[in-house]
Amino acid sequence: MVFSSITFLYYFLPIMLFFYFLVPWKLKNIVLLVSSLLFYFYGEPKYCFLLFFSSIFHYLMGKWIERCSKKKGKLFLLIVCLLLNFGILFYFKYYNFFLESIQFFLPNSFSFLTITLPIGISFFTFQTASYVIDIYRGKILSSKNILHFMTYISMFPQLIAGPIVRYETIEKELKERKLSINEISLGIQRFVIGLAKKVMLADLLGELSQRLSDSAPSFLGLWLRALADTLQLYFDFSGYSDMAIGLGLILGFHFLENFNYPLIARSITDFWRRWHISLSSWFRDYLYIPLGGNRVSKHRYVFNLFCVWLATGLWHGASWNFILWGLYFFILLLLEKRFLFPFLNRHKWFGHLYTGLLILISFVIFNRTDINDLLLTLKGMFGLQSIPFLNREVLFYLKEYSVLLLFSIFFATPLLKIGYKKVQEKKKCQPVLTLLEPLFYIGLFLLCTAFIIDASFQPFLYFRF
């Protein structure tokens, strides 16, 4: 079940919220837990046991780690827990890729398994890992209520595609939270904005990308497809995060932001402070800093950075293009930190152009799982392939989708948000906004519904991770 479906919007969510608001406070987590398990069961029935097992196992391990009096004993329990946690992730996500890679270098006959990747396994694996690590570090106490903990792990707003929510972020709200009309209203607005990003921008940009993929290659067509892919991924994933954060507010939870207009970044370092913040901060706190961060020798620092970006690439998928994608950012970040920062700080407009160009190239690598296709695409984009500069198909698509592209680029910036805040500050406009805001969001929601009914099924891109 996806958020941008009639089943979710008009059946699951209204029924769930009806019971959630109806029952007393003591039963709200039970309603949320049951609803979340049903939500996951609808999309992945055979792996519900995995989610259930992961919740019980990490709840018990958290208790044992906390109660263990010896430091070595705590460390042993943590290592066992993490080995099993990431071992399950390895089996489902990387086992066949690992065998394929060995077979490529050492030709042998391996028996590959037919493994279906459980939806959202990378997200809830990282959540459970952060939970036991934080207990080991003494940063948090283990959960005293197994129902609260299972609700945290399986909470449907962020279960499938994040953001990665740490236990400390919502620990207090799992026990006691307040529901206010103001925050429910803000949550609904945030959800509708995210839904519009998905169905009115991301899905149409995906349609453009597919049409360009099916057409004869040209120099401009390849760059246009790179732009469409980048914008599609941004609106698809940030739209999901908006919906998750909005649903959290409706239910009384405050998830941290996951995107902060990353496409206006002035450097690749700045980009990763703005893009998928919950993932980049996870790797910073649980891998980069434990390895020593930047408070080590130059060679060790390079090694630490390499490990983080190799892991970041692998987290996104079991394919060589994701590894190349991670190492691509490793090289760029290393160059920035060692040489480019002074120049980029002095020439901000160049920084925006430089970052935008490199981001486009990065998502070409990200979207091409076939390495031969990737190499041909990059050759064509840099004029190293005998293809025309422009053809009729690309010119037609450029005209047909020009309004979509312009709106997408505009909405990828904070200009609308800044302008709206200025209007809000004017007292004369406040009564008008009070009247028009509800009508706007109702109209936008109905328009999104029309887009969903009219379009073919478009799952969220980050479901596969």
Q: Could you give the C-alpha distances from 85 to 90, 122, 219, in angstroms and in order?
A: 9, 10, 45
Biggest CA pair distance of the chain: 75
Residue holding tokens 């109702």? 442
DSSP characters over 329-363: HHHHHHHIIIIIHHHHHH-HHHHHHHHHHHHHHHH
Cα separation, 290 vs 283, in Å, equals 10
Percentages helix, strand, coil for the chain (3-state, rounded to 5) are: 80, 0, 20
User: Does the active-site annotation cover 299?
Assistant: no
* Structural tokens at position 275: 């893009």
Cα separation, 202 vs 241, in Å, equals 13
Catalytic residue among 254, 316, 347, 352: 316
Whether residue 38 contacts residue 160, with contact meaning beta carbons closer than 8 Å, is answered with: no
Closest CA to 361 of 340, 375, 341: 375
Cα separation, 21 vs 27, in Å, equals 10
Residue holding tokens 């097992």? 53
Cα separation, 207 vs 205, in Å, equals 5
Closest CA to 12 of 46, 48, 36, 45: 36
Is 299 exposed, middle or buried (CB count within 10 Å of its CB: 0-12, 13-18, 19+)? exposed
Question: Active-site residues: which are they?
Answer: 316
